[in-house]
């Protein structure tokens, strides 16, 4: 299974990079393969009411998703089409492996998913280019090393809470047993509120999403939570240009909403693409 998944990962990344990055794909692909952790156990399966694919609003028996972005992805100058995410799912719709990329299209980390002691878990490795770490820092590593001895079998564990069949909370815990971020979700009509709390219970981030009839985000409002009463710090919109036969979007634009002369004006920040494969 691992050999097949590795081959599929290499072939997919090779074709994606050859198309969008215009660089030597084998360089990045080899980095990814070298950084991929050993597969986690896939049993015993933790009791969950939704799958990762469902949480991502993916429809059908999704096998893999490759996401790409072009535009102003975090920098104030145009950039070309770059890979931003690769995700591989099992036949039940749960993550097996993900690879994330920074805005220039370079892979930053590889994560594998499974179960540890009956709890959903993941194990991640960062990818290093020479002396440069794209994610994390030596200071972060030193801080971790000074804590209680970590469990090398995993990086994070996930505990899920549901209400009326909907995901309302995910408690993340590090491999030292310490509580980590805790996203909390609230639903009302066609809106979903997301609040992220730190391990000390402090509110760290807050978003409000508006959804279309397909369950896709069409608007996102970001809040500044550093004040006693959170205030709006940014407003963004998604416009969907294309869907596949399964009903999953394959192209959309991501825009920031600005107020000029008392009117809302959209500024396109990025065009996002998805290439999705399915189990037969």
pLDDT per residue of the chain (280 residues) written in tens, 0 to 9: 444 444 444 444 444 444 444 444 446 888 999 999 999 999 999 999 999 999 999 999 999 999 999 986 455 566 788 999 999 999 999 999 999 999 888 999 999 999 999 999 999 999 977 655 444 333 344 444 555 789 999 999 999 999 999 999 999 999 999 999 999 999 999 999 999 999 999 999 999 999 999 999 999 999 999 888 889 999 999 999 999 999 999 999 999 999 888 888 999 999 999 999 999 9
Single pTM value for the model: 0.82
At 130, list the tokens. Answer: 């020479």
Cis status, amide bond into 44, omega within 30 of 0:
yes
At 209, list the tokens. Answer: 């999403």
Spatial separation of the C-alpha atoms in residues 279 and 224, rounded to whole Å: 41
Residue 252's CB is within 10 A of a number of other CB atoms, namely 21
Positive or negative torsion for Cα 81, 82, 85, 89: positive
Helix (H, G, I), strand (E, B) or coil at 150: coil
Please report, for the chain, the start and end positions of each structural domain, with discontinuous segments joined by +: 2-278
CATH code for the part of the protein at 2-278? 2.40.160
Residue at token pair 């036949």: 91
Spatial separation of the C-alpha atoms in residues 203 and 197, rounded to whole Å: 4
Residue 4's CB is within 10 A of a number of other CB atoms, namely 8
Q: In the chain, what is the straight-line distance between the N-terminal and C-terminal CA atoms, in Å?
A: 17
Looking at residue 77, what is its pLDDT? 63
Q: What are phi and psi of 15, to 5 degrees?
A: -70, -40
Looking at residue 256, what is its pLDDT? 95
Spatial separation of the C-alpha atoms in residues 30 and 25, rounded to whole Å: 8
Spatial separation of the C-alpha atoms in residues 51 and 94, rounded to whole Å: 5
Spatial separation of the C-alpha atoms in residues 167 and 154, rounded to whole Å: 23
């Amino acid at each position: 299974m691992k050999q097949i998944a590795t081959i599929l990962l290499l072939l997919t990344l090779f074709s994606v990079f050859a198309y969008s990055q215009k660089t030597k794909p084998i360089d990045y692909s080899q980095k990814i393969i070298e950084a991929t952790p050993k597969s986690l156990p896939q049993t015993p399966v933790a009791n969950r009411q939704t799958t990762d694919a469902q949480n991502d609003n993916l429809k059908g028996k999704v096998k893999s998703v490759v996401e790409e972005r072009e535009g102003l992805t975090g920098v104030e100058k145009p950039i070309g089409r770059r890979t931003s995410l690769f995700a591989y799912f099992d036949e039940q719709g749960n993550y097996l492996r993900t690879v994330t990329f920074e805005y220039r299209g370079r892979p930053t980390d590889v994560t594998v998913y499974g179960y540890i002691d009956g709890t959903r878990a993941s194990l991640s490795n960062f990818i290093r280019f020479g002396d440069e770490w794209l994610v994390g820092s030596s200071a972060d590593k030193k801080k971790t090393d000074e804590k209680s001895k970590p469990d090398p079998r995993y990086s994070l564990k996930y505990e899920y809470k549901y209400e009326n069949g909907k995901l309302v909370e995910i408690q993340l815990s590090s491999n030292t047993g310490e509580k980590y971020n805790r996203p909390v979700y609230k639903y009302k009509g066609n809106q979903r509120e997301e609040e992220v709390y730190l391990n000390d219970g402090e509110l760290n981030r807050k978003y409000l999403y508006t959804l279309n009839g397909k369950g896709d985000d069409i608007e996102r409002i970001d809040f500044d939570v550093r004040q006693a009463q959170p205030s709006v710090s940014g407003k963004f919109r998604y416009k969907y240009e294309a869907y596949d036969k399964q009903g999953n979007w394959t192209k959309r634009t991501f825009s920031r909403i600005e107020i000029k002369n008392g009117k809302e004006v959209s500024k396109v920040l990025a065009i996002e693409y998805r290439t999705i494969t399915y189990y037969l």
